[in-house]
Amino acid sequence: MALLLATSGCAPVRRPPSFALRHVAPLAGIPQGNAALPQPAWWKRYNDPQLDRLMDLATQHSPDLQQAEARYEAAERAVDAQHAQLNPQVRGLLDSTHAYSKVGIHAQPSGAPGPLQNLDISPKHSWSNSGLAAALLTWDLDLWGKQKDAIAQAAGEANAMRADQAMAANSLHYGVAKAYFDWQSMQTRVQLARASTAAASQFLSLEQVRVKAGLDDPQQLDRADAQLADQRRSQAMLEGQSALNLAQLAAVIGVSERELGELKAQPWPHIDADIPPDASLALLARRPDIVANRWEIEASIQGIDEARAAYYPDVSLMGLGAFLRLYPNLGSGTHANIALGSIGPSFSLPIFSGGRLKAQVEINQAQLDTAVASYNHTVVQAAHDVAEQVLTLQQIQAVQVQTDQQLADVGRQNDRADRRRQRGLDDDRTWLGLQLQLNQVRDSQLQIADQLMSTHLALIYALGGGYRDTSLPSLPSTSSQASR
């Protein structure tokens, strides 16, 4: 034991590896307000029972979510398997044999005259039976914590899989919400397009009457006919897009369109572009991909400790109990019984490994460096995603203000034309033309609202949805230039 401990002195010193993590997300220049971070079921803020039902349906049928859950379950079982390595093991053995032997001897005695020079002995044969029952006890005492490090590494991988599961759920919820609100927006645009088609059709009818009466040039009729054709084309495109949006919604959820049930248009929810004042810090704690990277770092640290512990001797407790019964010659009545038992410690140490142990430590160190780099990259990318969506929201809101102003101006013109029409000062064509113009501005407003909602959902997705992991380990972080 003293020799083994002395030999293990060549093992590297076990100390926390050094690395540098980014703890601040670069969100400078992004306006902050009193907005709250998304809650776990963040879509419930819209108070839309239809959307709640679709989210439940997606959770039940999503293949991606089922695969993520299966990977997490497999990782959990791997933790259980590593835990089991700390427990003593008893293995039993039962062995029974039936043997046949035949012995023939041919000899040539030295110096024997004549026929005695060759000597043959008649072959002998025999049958024998034997039976063995044994039990072997082994118990790795794990004095240096190698197995405990393996358990911690497996637990880190399992937590990373749990975060991956949250990533799959976050992507699913975002996809369902986006497809749902795209369909909602398209439904309103379809209704508006149908109203515009009806107005263009009425406009054409008036032109037909006036041209027939010789009051207008026939070119006016051609323009009215082209206007109606253009409105019908727009209506057909929007109706086709609405059907496509419904199919996309069903595909994201993983069901048929029939299983979606009856869907109705709902009031458009309020949207803001604010982010919480502590978003730069909360971002690190809530995005599942960042959490997964943190757990990968923790698992890599434990893997380094496990690789370093391999330099130390393995100390186990071993016990053996066995019983052997032997019948060397069946029918002779002779048999032998052998019983034995032993217990004691077992020591083993890799004295020369040809660089294998060192290579394993370096492999785990490289995995840690990769996990740290991936974590830092994810933090920067996450900050970029959040900043991009917030700035896009502000840009769309600025365009929305101008569109609202344009809608108000056209609306006033339409109101004046309607009053003149009712007094008989103008015919219906002026009012119908303004109706078409008003509907065109309304359609632009609806498209902007849809872009605003899509960007708003993308911001929620960039903030990690409602995911938050409060069990993240406190990782060591020092200068990356420190010695390893």
CATH number of the domain that residue 164 is part of: 1.20.1600.10
Last residue of a domain, one of 348, 370, 391: 348
For residue 113, being part of any structural domain is answered with no
For residue 482, being part of any structural domain is answered with no
**pLDDT for 355 beyond 70:** yes
Q: How far apart are CA 167 and CA 160, in angstroms?
A: 10
How would DSSP label each residue in 92-115? EEEEEEEEEEEEEEEE--TT--GG
**pLDDT for 244 beyond 90:** yes
Find residue 6's DSSP bridge partners: none
pLDDT at 114: 54
Q: For residue 389, give Cα distances in angstroms to 42, 210, 383, 437, 457.
A: 17, 53, 10, 31, 9
Q: Is 241 found in the same domain as 226?
A: yes
Q: Is 321 found in the same domain as 403?
A: no
Q: State pLDDT tens for residues 310-320.
A: 888 888 889 98
**pLDDT for 482 beyond 50:** no
Q: What confidence category does residue 481 fall into, taking pLDDT thresholds of 50, 70 and 90?
A: very low
Q: How far apart are CA 374 and CA 368, in angstroms?
A: 10
For residue 108, being part of any structural domain is answered with no
SS3 198: helix
Q: Is 395 found in the same domain as 299?
A: yes
Q: Is 366 found in the same domain as 246?
A: yes
Q: What confidence category does residue 140 fall into, taking pLDDT thresholds of 50, 70 and 90?
A: confident
**pLDDT for 27 beyond 60:** yes
Q: For residue 57, give Cα distances in angstroms to 53, 132, 466.
A: 6, 60, 19
Q: What confidence category does residue 250 fall into, taking pLDDT thresholds of 50, 70 and 90?
A: very high
342: domain CATH number?
2.20.200
For residue 457, being part of any structural domain is answered with yes
> Which structural domain range is residue 320 located in?
87-103+124-141+315-348
For residue 137, being part of any structural domain is answered with yes
Q: How far apart are CA 128 and CA 264, in angstroms?
A: 86
Q: Greatest CA separation found in the chain?
A: 155
Q: How far apart are CA 184 and CA 194, in angstroms?
A: 16
Which one-letter amino acid corresponds to residue 278? D
Global pTM reads 0.78
Q: State pLDDT tens for residues 92-112.
A: 989 888 887 777 666 666 665
Which one-letter amino acid corresponds to residue 324? L
Higher pLDDT, 9 or 51: 51
Count of domains observed in the chain? 2
Q: Is 242 found in the same domain as 329?
A: no
pLDDT at 282: 63
Number of H helices, E strands in the chain: 9, 4
For residue 305, being part of any structural domain is answered with yes
The structure tokens 């995995």 sit at 367
Q: Is 237 found in the same domain as 187?
A: yes
Q: How far apart are CA 233 and CA 321, in angstroms?
A: 89
Higher pLDDT, 48 or 414: 48
Q: Is 432 found in the same domain as 404?
A: yes
Separation of CA 371 from chain center: 16
Mean pLDDT, rounded, for 406-413: 82
For residue 468, being part of any structural domain is answered with no
- Report H helices in 62-145: 63-84
Q: Is 170 found in the same domain as 233?
A: yes
Q: Is 221 found in the same domain as 273?
A: yes
Q: Is 423 found in the same domain as 323?
A: no
Q: State pLDDT tens for residues 420-464.
A: 777 766 677 777 788 888 888 888 888 998 999 999 899 889 888
SS3 18: coil
Q: Is 276 found in the same domain as 239?
A: yes
Q: Which range (165-174, 267-276, 394-403) has the least confidence?
A: 267-276
Separation of CA 181 from chain center: 24
**pLDDT for 50 beyond 90:** yes
For residue 473, being part of any structural domain is answered with no
What is the rounded end-to-end Cα distance, in angstroms, of the chain? 30
Q: Is 328 found in the same domain as 249?
A: no
Q: What confidence category does residue 153 fall into, taking pLDDT thresholds of 50, 70 and 90?
A: confident
